[in-house]
Structure 1
Amino acid sequence: MGMTTYALPAPPATTPARPRLVTRALLLRLVSMLGSSIGFYLPLSVVPLFARDSGSARAAGLATVALLLATVACELVTPRLVAVVGYRWALGLGLVLLGAPTLVLTVTGEPGAILAVCLVRGAGFAICTVAGGALTATLIPAERRCEGLAFVGTVAGGSSLIALPTGVWAADRWGYTPVFLATAVLTLLALLAVPGLPRRIAGNTAHRGLLSGLRRPALTRPATVFAAVTAAVGVLVTFLPLATSAQPAWVAAAALLAQPAAATAASWLTGRVADRRGPARFLTPGLILAAAGMALLALIGTPAAVIGGALVFGTGFGILQNTTLSLMYSRERTGGESTVSAIWNTAYDLGMAAGALAAGLIVASAGYPLTFLLTAAAILPALALSTRER
C-alpha cells in the first residue's frame, strides 16, 4: 500500500514592517517649524497696521511686498548656504533673522525701519523654509514620504491658521508691542531644538545647483503645476474680501477660513494613500477641483457658492501641495533636497505674487466674477503637464 503524502501549507508571507514616521529628530524639527511659522504669521497682518498707525500709509502697503520679495530672493541662494554651513547653522540663522528684528519695532515706527525689518525677516523666513523643508524631507522615510509631508504640513498649516488671526486680535486688545515681543521670544525659543537636529545628511552631500535643477523637467513640471494653483491663491486672498464687500462680513471670513482648512485636510488624506498609489495620479483631480472652485467663486452674490467654492478650491490646492512636493523629492538624489525645496517654495511665492498682480491689472475692467472665471481658466493648461506626469 502506497504512502499518502500531504503538502505542508506554505508559511504565511510576512509583510515588512513600515519604517517609523515620528522620530525624535522629526519632533525636534516640528519645534523649529512651529517657531518659524509663528514668527512669520503672528505679525504678518500686524506690521501693515502698525505702519499705518505710525503715520505711513505707503510703508503699510510696501511692508508685505518687501517681505515677499526678500523671501523669494533668498530662497534662490539658500541651497548654497546649506551646502556651506549645513542644516543646523542655516536653520539657526533663519530663526534669528526672522524673530529678532521685530524687537526694533518696539522702539521705532519709522518707515525705513519698518521696511528694513520686513526685508530681514523675509530673508530669515526663506532660510527657514528652504533649509527646514529640505531637512524635513531627509527625516521622513521614502516609503512614507507623502504621509510624512502631510503630517508635517498639518502642523504647519494649523499653526498658521491660529497665529495669523491671533496677531491681529492681540494687537487690537493689547497693542503692537506685545505682539512684536511675543514674535521674537517664541521664534528664538525654537533655537533650543536646533542642536538636536542633524548637521548634514548621510550619504552623498554634494551640492546640486539651483540652475541645474531648473533645467530638469522632472522637477520643473510639478513645480509649474503647483504654481498654476498658487497663482489662484494669490487672486483669492487678495480679491475675495473686496468682491464680497456687499455681502455680510462673515461670508469672506468663512471662505478665507474654509480654503486653508480644506487644503490641510486634503493634504493629509492624500498623503495617507498617495504613498501606495503614487502621487502623480492625483495631479489631474487636484487641478480640476481647483479650477472648479475658482469658477464657483464667480457667483459672488451667493454666500453658499462663495464658501463652497473656497472649500472645493482648497481641496484641490491641498492635494497638489502634497503630491507635487512628494514627486519632486522622489526624483532628486540624496543631497539635492535643498534645491527641490527652493524650487518648490519659489514656485509657491512667485505664483501667488504673479496671480495677484495679473488679476489687479484686469479686475477694474473685467469685474470680479469674470476675473475669477479667467483665473479658473488659467489653471486648465496645467492639465497637459499633469497628464504627462502620469
Structure 2
Amino acid sequence: MTRTKTSVITAPGMRHLLLLVFFCLSGFALLLPVSPQWAVHGGADEFGAGLVTATLMATTVLAQLLVKTALRRLGWPRTLALGALLLGLPAPVQAFSDSLWAILLTTTLRGLGFGIITVCGSTAAAILAPPGRQGAAIGLYGLALALPQMVLTPAAPALVATLTLPVIIACGALPVLALPFTRGLGRAVDARTMTPSPEQAAAAAPTATVLRRSLLPLATLLSVTSAGGAVLTFTPQFAGRPALAVTALFLFTATAAGARWVCGVLADRFAPRPLTCILLITACAGLALIAVSVRSDQHPLAGLPTGLVLLGAAYGGLQSITLVQALADAGAENRQTTSVAWNIGYDSGTGLGSLLLGLAAQVTTFSTGFTALSAAMALAAAVVVTAGNRPCNKPTAPTPDPADSADRDRHQSLSGQ
C-alpha cells in the first residue's frame, strides 16, 4: 500500500530526466512540421516533404540500434551529451539552405541525436521508477516528451507566418540547453545499475526472444504512430490556413499529452488489453472523421477537430500502455533491449506514416490516405482481440529486482495470459 504513495517526480534522477527530454523535444517538436515546409519552400513536392520526416525517423532507428554499444563504451553522461549535441547543433546549419539535399543531410544528424535521447530516456524512466510506479513514471516521462509538442508543434505554422522559416529552424538548437542535466541523470542511472548480479546478467534474453515476447504491443505502437506521424507532418498542408493548422495541431498534441500521463497511471491498475482495444477503436473513428473532413477542396469541415481529439487520445495513451506492457512481457532484465525495440517501433511508425500519406496525397488525395489508416486501426483492434485467446511467451528466468518482478507478474496476471 505504501508503494502507491511513493512520489515519482522526487525519485533520484527523475527531475534531470524530465528537464533533459523537455529541452531536447522542444527542438525536435519545433522542426517536425517546419523542416518539411522548408523543403516545400525550396521546391520539393509532397513526397519530398514526407521524405524529410521519413529520413529523420530512419536515422533515428539507426542510432537506436547503436545506443547499447555507445552506453557501454562512453557511459551514460557522455552518451546523453552526444545525443543532445547531435539533435541541436545541425538546426542552425539547416537554416542556411532550403535545398532538399541540405535539409536531408542535417536531418540525418538530428535523427541520430534523437535516437540516442529516446532510447536513453525511456530506459532511464523504467530504471528510475519507484517500486510499483513504473506506469506512472513512464506516463510522467511521456508527458515531458509531449508538452513541447503540444506547445511548439501547433505554434510552428503561426511562428513561420510571423517570423521567417530560417529563424524558426535555427531555434531548433534548443536541445543544447539540455547539456547541464546529462551528468546528473547519468550518475543517477549508474547508481541504480552499477552492480548487476550474475543472476541478472544470466537472465537477459536474446533480442529475438525479447521481440517475440513484446510483439503485440510493438505492432500496436507501429500502427498508431503511423497515423500520428501523418498528422504531425501534413497538417499545415491539408488544413490550409495557418490559424486552422495551429488549432488542429494543438488539439491533437494536447490530447496526446494528457492521454500519455493518464494512461500511464491506468496501466499500473488495469489490464492492458482492454485499454488497448478501446484506444485502437477510438483511433479508427478519429481517422475516419479526418478522412471525411479533408475530402472536399474547400476548408476542412467541423469534424476535423473531433477526429484529431479522438486520434490524439489513442496516439498518446497507446504510447504509455504499449511501453509498460512491452517492459512487463519482456522482463526487467531486458529493459534496455525492450526500450530500443519500442523506440524503433515508435519512430518507424512515424516515418512510415508520413511517407505513405505523402505518397497517397501525390497519387490520390489526403482523404484516401486517412481512410486507409482508419482501416489499419480497425485491423489492429481485431488482431489484439484475437491474440487474447492465445497464451503469451512469458519470461522463464526470475528477475533479481523484487519490485520489478512484482510489477511484471501483476501485469501478466492482469492480461489474463
Q: TM-score, normalised by structure 1?
A: 0.82
1:195 match = 183
> One-letter code of the match for 2:274?
R
CA apart distance, 1:326: 0.7
Q: Are 2:322 and 1:324 equivalent residues in the alignment?
A: yes
Q: Is the 8 A contact 1:295 1:372 kept in 2?
A: yes
User: How many Å separate the matches in 2 of 1:131 and 1:257?
Assistant: 27
Q: Following superposition of structure 1 onto structure 2, how do residues 154-303 of structure 1 map, counting pairs within 5 Å?
A: 154-166=143-155, 169-170=158-159, 173-175=162-164, 178-179=167-168, 182-184=171-173, 186-197=174-185, 198=188, 200=190, 201-202=192-193, 204=196, 206=201, 212-213=207-208, 216-238=211-233, 242-243=237-238, 245=240, 250-300=243-293, 303=301
What's the CA shift for 1:124? 0.7
Question: Which whole-Å CA distance do the structure 2 matches of 1:335 and 1:84 have between them?
Answer: 20
* Contact residue 82 and residue 338 of structure 1 kept, 8 A: no
| Cα displacement string for residues 141-171 of structure 1 (whole angstroms, at most 9, x for unaligned residues) | 2511222222221222111222335555555
Q: Distance in 1 between matches of 2:203 and 2:172?
A: 34
Q: Identity over the aligned pairs, expressed in percent?
A: 28
The Cα of 1:39 is off from its aligned counterpart by 2.5
Alpha-carbon deviation of 1:67? 2.4
User: Alpha-carbon deviation of 1:206?
Assistant: 4.7
- Whole-angstrom CA distance in 2 between matches of 1:172 and 1:71: 29
Match of 2:309 in 1: 311
Aligned-partner Cα distance in 2 for 1:239–1:16: 43
Distance 1:82 1:208 in 2: 20
**Match in the other structure for 2:67:** 78
Q: Does the CA contact (< 8 Å) of 2:94 and 2:103 recur in 1?
A: yes
Is residue 150–residue 271 contact of structure 1 (8 Å, CA) maintained in 2? yes
CA deviation after TM superposition for structure 1 residue 344, in Å: 1.3
Q: Which runs of 5+ in 1 are unaligned?
A: 1-13
Counterpart CA distance in 2 for 1:367 and 1:177 is 30
Amino acid at match of 1:222: P
Q: Residues of 2 paired with 1:178 and 1:359: CA distance?
A: 28
Does 2:16 align with 1:18?
Answer: no
Give the drift of 1:264.
1.7
The match for 2:342 is 344
How many Å separate the matches in 2 of 1:95 and 1:112? 23
Post-superposition offset of 1:137: 1.5
Cross-structure match for 2:24: 36
CA distance in 1, matches of 2:291, 2:363: 15
Query: Residues of 2 paired with 1:189 and 1:249: CA distance?
Result: 29
What is the DSSP-based 3-state SS (H/G/I as helix, E as strand, rest coil) of the residue aligned with 2:87?
helix
Pair 1:368–1:165, CA change in 2 (3 A): closer
* Counterpart residue identity of residue 274, structure 1: A
- The 1:46–1:252 alpha-carbon spacing in structure 2 relative to 1, beyond 3 Å, is closer
Tell me the amino acid that sits aligned with residue 252 of structure 2. Answer: Q
SS where residue 75 of structure 2 aligns?
helix
State which structure, 1 or 2, has the greater radius of gyration over its C-alpha atoms.
Answer: 1
Spell out, residue by residue over 1:322-347, the C-alpha distance to the aligned partner (whole angstroms, 9 max, x if none).
11011112233445323222211211
- Show CA shifts across 1:185-238 (max 9, x none): x32221111111235342537599997156632212100011111222234345
Pick which of 229-238 and 324-333 moved more.
229-238
Q: By how many angstroms is 1:308 displaced?
A: 0.9
85, 99, 117: which is aligned to 1:128? 117
Moved more, 171-180 or 327-336: 171-180
Corresponding pairs, count:
373
Cα distance in 2, alignment partners of residues 373 and 52 from structure 1? 25
**Take 2:105 and 2:62, find their aligned partners in 1: how far apart are those partners?**
15
Change (3 A) 1:209 1:250: farther
* Counterpart-to-counterpart distance in 2, 1:17 and 1:161: 29
Distance in 1, Cα, partners of 2:17 & 2:384: 31
Q: Which residue of 1 aligns with 2:375?
A: 377
Structure 2 unaligned regions, length at least 5: 389-414
